Structure 1
Amino acid sequence: MADNQHSALNDDSFNQFQLEEYKNISNAHFETNKQISAFYRYYLLIASAPAIIFVWFKGGGNIINSLLNCPAENINVNLFVGFFMFILSIIGMFACFYMISFRLDSILYARTVNGIRNYFFSKRARNDSHFRVLPLLTNQPDYRQKHTFGIIVYSFGLINSIYFAIGARIIASVGEEFFTNYFLIKIPIILTNYGVSHSILAAISFFLLHIGYYRFIANYRKYSYMKTNIIGVDIDGVLNKHRDTFCTMLWEKKGITLWADDIDKIPVHQMTNSIITRNDEFDIFNDPEYWKRQDEFQTDVGKIIQELRNSFGYKIHIHTYRPWPQFSFGTISRVILETKWSDNSIKKITKEWLNRYNIEYDKLYIERTSIDKGRMKFIFLGSLFNLIRKDFKNRFFYTNNKPYRYFVEDDINNAKKLSRYCEYVFLIEQTYNCNTEIDMPINIIRVKDWKEIKEYIKELG
């Protein structure tokens, strides 16, 4: 009974949230359309400026002929008019691009409103289509609208292309002589005089640039925007059975018996009543054989990842925290460790292990630090001058700077942090992350194996 009441309260809260969201996004949608209309009017006002220039330039006679075939005394004036029209066309192009983005945002708001409307209409048992006229589908309206907003894009492109062609033509007719006489430089490729056919070609090309950008950015919004295709994958505890290998080498090196299923905390030396010391752990982790002897998590993990890459179209970015060897702890001398690692590196070992089990990937990141945000002062200065050391770039850095659709983790704390940056985080169930009392974000999904991960990805898309 209490659970039902709690569920009802949650439903009421969510419904209230949806209603408020509906109001806010609807207002944002209409406000965006108003801004587009105002922006277009301002553009038309600015675009009319050349008419004033022409009136100022010459009250009568053949204005175009004077601009294109001017006497020597009018070179400066003609060049001013040419550059004015040329720059105006460039500004108009960027204004068009900006307004296209504005319009696509408006469509995104409209689709969101449709989704919220569908949420409430789907709760009704009977058919309400006889009085519903607004759509419920989140794939409407289309991002590319030839007969509505497309007309505005065409008008932008037409005006800008005419100004671009005329401005470039005027500059070409007088620019070479101007720069040669006054600055003693000659740029024949840019400032060579050309004919009417070249001007027409320049106008068409500039016009098609507007249309091409509109098509490109609309398709991007439709097929790629907020639809990232990157899956981040940890290695230890996700692709391999690191607990089993640890327990085996613990027995071989230290004579200590520990069963994999008894490991309920990582690092192991922090387990309650643990007889394993940090030195014991470091003696194993500092041995390259530990990293080479890992068994794969399940026999078909490589095949599943290959299917996710080739059939589902996802990119696999593997992240693993392996700052080894380390000499700060452990009982093995530094000389012996350096000898063991003389022909090895953790990156080389990791690549060879992935190849051995046919685990395909697009990028591999060996993390040298587990600090969430890195050293803040260093990252601030490094970001400013683009000098961030690779060692300080970890999975949190990459997921914060690049959209990841999924991430597969075994560490519950890492999963909670990654849930802020990734759409979904799959938490592979291990004995050390089964604490169900921890409040988990809703986009963390507990899974048992990679088969279950593949099924979720097929469902979520």
Structure 2
Amino acid sequence: MNEKANGGPSGPRLTSRDWAGEMAPENDVSDAFSQFQLKEYENISQAHFKTNEVLATFYRYFLLITAIPITTVGLALLNFSKDGISEEARILAFLIFGVSAVLLSLVGAAVISYIEGLRLDAILYARVVNSIRDFFFKKPGAADFGSSVLPRNSEKPSYDGFGASFIIYHACALMNSTYFAAGVLVLMLDKTVQLQQIQVSNCQWAITAISFVTLMIAQIITRRRLVADKARKGF
């Protein structure tokens, strides 16, 4: 009878305390992982909001930088002669605007590419936060808190798609391409003639259009490449 109470000939029977001892390490691991997820949630949430703040700051400075060519032309044209704008001031204005417009358009293209990379990182952070939120809402007792209002899908938000970021990126790309084409056109013009006598040949118009389209396509391809590289990593 004692043999059966103790589990029979095959061995002693485990008591509830023994089961608790067996399960304790597993519970400790689960609690440790939950604490890790909580800390990860806090850190990544902060990183997400910080990245959004950096994005807004970068766009403000970008718009400020794009105003430089117009400002420099205005300063150059302050050199007036008795008959109007002197030839030296006109040549200086053409050169300053042309060179600064070309350089700033290229810098602008690099800046918005960097900003796009930051945006993709912010989306990655949001996806990780969603996955952690989903982890906790699947735990026992989570139903007591009601359904999740915020998303739990780790595949949302999408890296690509039509939205505010899409519009802002392509608007900035359009501005860069316009500055680039304008700078190229100004550098090709005859700077010795009066402003009202300037004529643009068909060849110059064609080169200007090609310059605009080339930089615009390059920026579109760059964005698609950044999105594809981020998606290819499996995030």
- Give the residue type in structure 1 aligned to 2:221: G
Deviation, 1:198, is 2.9
CA distance in 2, matches of 1:73, 1:193: 27
Give the number of the structure whose residues are more often helix, by fraction: 2
SS at match of 1:195: helix
Match runs of 1:366-377 below 5 Å: none
Give the number of the structure whose residues are more often strand, by fraction: 1
Identity %: 32
CA-to-aligned-CA distance 1:158-213 (integer Å, 9 cap, x gap): 111111001111223359x9xxxxxxxxxxxxxx9942243133213212222221
1:12 equivalent in alignment to 2:31: yes
Match runs of 1:44-443 below 5 Å: 44-58=63-77, 74-124=90-140, 131-173=147-189, 194-222=203-231, 224-225=232-233
1:43 equivalent in alignment to 2:52: no
Bigger relative contact order, structure 1 or 2 (CA pairs below 8 A, ≥6 apart): 2
**Structure 1 unaligned regions, length at least 5:** 60-65, 178-191, 228-461
CA distance in 1, matches of 2:140, 2:116: 37
CA distance in 2, matches of 1:226, 1:114: 15
* Deviation larger for 142-151 or 22-31: 142-151
Task: State the TM-score, normalized to the length of structure 2.
Answer: 0.76
CA distance in 1, matches of 2:137, 2:88: 73
- Give the residue type in structure 2 aligned to 1:206: L
Contact 2:136/2:142 (8 A) holds in 1: no
Deviation, 1:105, is 0.6
CA-to-aligned-CA distance 1:45-86 (integer Å, 9 cap, x gap): 111112212322336xxxxxx9xxx96884454223211110
The structure-2 alpha-carbon separation of the partners of 1:163 and 1:5, relative to structure 1 and needing over 3 Å to count, comes to same
CA distance in 2, matches of 1:208, 1:148: 20
CA distance in 2, matches of 1:207, 1:128: 53
Contact 2:76/2:92 (8 A) holds in 1: no
Contact 1:169/1:194 (8 A) holds in 2: no
Task: State the TM-score, normalized to the length of structure 1.
Answer: 0.40
1:451 aligns with none
Paired residues, number = 203
SS at match of 1:138: coil
Contact 1:161/1:204 (8 A) holds in 2: yes
The structure-2 alpha-carbon separation of the partners of 1:124 and 1:145, relative to structure 1 and needing over 3 Å to count, comes to farther
What RMSD, in angstroms, separates the aligned Cα atoms of the two structures?
2.9
Q: Of 8, 23, 41, which aligns to 2:42?
A: 23
CA distance in 1, matches of 2:44, 2:222: 26
